[in-house]
Every structure is written in structure tokens, then in C-alpha cells.
Amino acid sequence: MAILTLRRPTKRNALDDATVLSFEEFFRKPGADVRAIVLDAEGDHFSAGLDLGELTERSTEEALEHSLMWHRVFGTIEAGRVPVVAALRGAVIGGGLELAACAHIRVAEPSTFYALPEGQRGLFVGGGGSVRVPRLIGAHRMADMMLTGRVLGAAEGHAAGLSQYLTEEGGARARALELAERIAANAPLTNFAVLQALPRIAEASPAGGLLLESLMSAVAAGSHDAQERIRAFLAGRATKVTAGHGSHGKDDR
């Protein structure tokens, strides 16, 4: 397991180009032994979004290239082979929300708040938010946030789908680490299927999705790891699922 921590607390972890490009370097080669990643942030805020100081004197062509760079980097996070758990607190705004939406699991503290203020600044999202955020909360809710500047608190954002877990104050990192450890214990091929096949199945036609599911199911079930785990279960050496197994409280999704 690995932990990647944003460290620009005096800027509320606003994202400059150097920071974003460092993500690409890390997520392209996280290490052969890394089976889960926790994305955390130093200070009181996850990320207040794009560092607006980098927008000055940028031409239309340069702005296009900048957006495409963010797309490339954030796509590396979302479409990588290692599951990512984000620990959220404080501001998750603009580009910070676009970054959080790349993670596969999001854990939020009560201090977390979400916003897309681009509309009030004459801008439009450019880090993939128009694709990823509506998948979580729907296009109409995202439109509301962008048109009106609406801010969603932790509980409202959780209910809308921006986080899967809501913890006590100060608990996001510990919960994210706990979840990452559980994820890392899965069969690697199963995690691969969840990250690579599941999104494609969700976007496919029903017939195409069912075929891809059958193929992925057969590949996973035929692996040595899966067969060993099934034998352990049948021999009574594996934990059985119960009503309380894996539960972390009433706010977990």
C-alpha cells in the first residue's frame, strides 16, 4: 500500500502544474508491490482546486493544452491498475473535486464541503469534471452547483453520491487506510476486473456488457488465486459474510 499526500497547505492544496504532473509520475509507476493507494492532503483542506495564479496571460490554445494535460493525468489515476481511496476534508472545490472524482472510493469528514465555482469566475471545468462528476451526482445537480455557486456540505454531498463513507472529524485518513488494506488483500485479478472491466460494462449495451461480464468472470474464476480462496472457504478457513461484516456505521454507502 502507498500513501500520496498533497502538501500545499498554505494554498489550501490548490493544484499547480508541477503538482498535477507529479501525480502522473507517481501513478504511472506506483511500484510492483503497491496494491492500493490512499490519496490524502496535509492541513485542513483536501484541495481548493486549480491555482488561479497559473491562469494569467494564458491563450486559448494554451488553455486547451492545459485542460488536455489534466485529462491525461487524471485519466492515469482513474484508469490505472491500483485502486485509489481519497481521504477528504475541508475544501473539495473545482479541480479538487475533479481530482477526488478520479478516486475509486472517497471517504469524507464532516468538515468536507464541495463546490464548482467556475461559473462565477467566467470559467468551465477543465479537468474532466463534466464527465466524472455527473456520473456520481447527475448532470442536473452538477448544473445547479455551477450555475448558482451552490455549496454542498459533507452530509449533503454524501447523500448525493460524492462520497461512499462519512466519518467522524479527523477520521478520514484512518478509514481510508483501513479500506485500502482491505482492498489490497483482494485477489489482484479481481481488483483489475473492478477497475478495468466494470466501468466498460456500465457503459456498454446490455448484451455487450453481459458478454464482457461472462468473459471477465471466467478469467477471474480460473486463476490460481481464486481457486485457492474457494478451497479455503470450503474448508472453513475463510471469513463468512455476516450482516455486520464490513459495516462502518449507518452513513456508509
pLDDT in tens, 157-183: 999 999 999 999 999 999 999 999 999
How sure is the predictor about 230, in pLDDT bands with cuts at 50, 70 and 90? confident
β-partners of residue 6 are 41
For position 238, what pLDDT does the model report? 61
Count of domains for the chain = 2
201 and 144 housed in the same domain: no
Please identify which of the residues 57, 62, 98, 169 carries the catalytic annotation.
Answer: 98
End of a domain among 138, 159, 184?
184
pLDDT at 42 over 90: yes
Radius of gyration of the chain measured on its C-alpha atoms:
19
211 and 141 housed in the same domain: no
Lookup result for grid cell 491562469: 55
Domain around 227? 186-253
Among residues 243, 253, 102, which one has the least CA distance to residue 165? Answer: 253
Residue 132 · residue 161 · CB < 8 Å: no
Q: Is 98 a catalytic residue?
A: yes
Q: What is the CATH number of the domain that holds 247?
A: 1.10.12.10
62 and 167 housed in the same domain: yes
Percent of the chain with pLDDT over 70: 94
Which residues have a Cβ under 8 Å from the Cβ of 7 and sit 6 or more positions away? 13, 41, 42
pTM: 0.91
Vertex 120 angle, CA 94 and 128, to 5°: 30
Mean pLDDT of the chain: 92
pLDDT at 244 over 80: no
Neighbours of 55 (CB within 10 A): 13
Tell me the DSSP string of 37-73.
EEEEESSS-SB--B-GGGGTT--HHHHHHHHHHHHHH
User: Looking at per-residue confidence, does 82 or 234 come out higher?
Assistant: 82
Q: Is 54 a catalytic residue?
A: no
How large is the average pLDDT for residues 131-143?
Answer: 97
Q: What is the CATH number of the domain that holds 9?
A: 3.90.226.10
173 and 244 housed in the same domain: no
74 and 149 housed in the same domain: yes
End of a domain among 184, 199, 218?
184
176 and 194 housed in the same domain: no
pLDDT at 247 over 70: no
pLDDT at 249 over 50: no
Please identify which of the residues 118, 203, 213, 228 carries the catalytic annotation.
Answer: 118
149 and 37 housed in the same domain: yes
Percent of the chain with pLDDT over 90: 79
209 and 166 housed in the same domain: no
For position 250, what pLDDT does the model report? 44
138 and 223 housed in the same domain: no
End of a domain among 169, 184, 199?
184
Spatial separation of the C-alpha atoms in residues 89 and 118, rounded to whole Å: 20
Residue-wise pLDDT tens digits, 201-227? 999 999 999 999 999 999 998 888 878
129 and 80 housed in the same domain: yes
Residue-wise pLDDT tens digits, 61-112? 999 999 999 999 999 999 999 999 999 999 999 999 999 999 999 999 999 9
Sign, CA torsion 38/41/44/48: negative
64 and 169 housed in the same domain: yes
96 and 7 housed in the same domain: yes
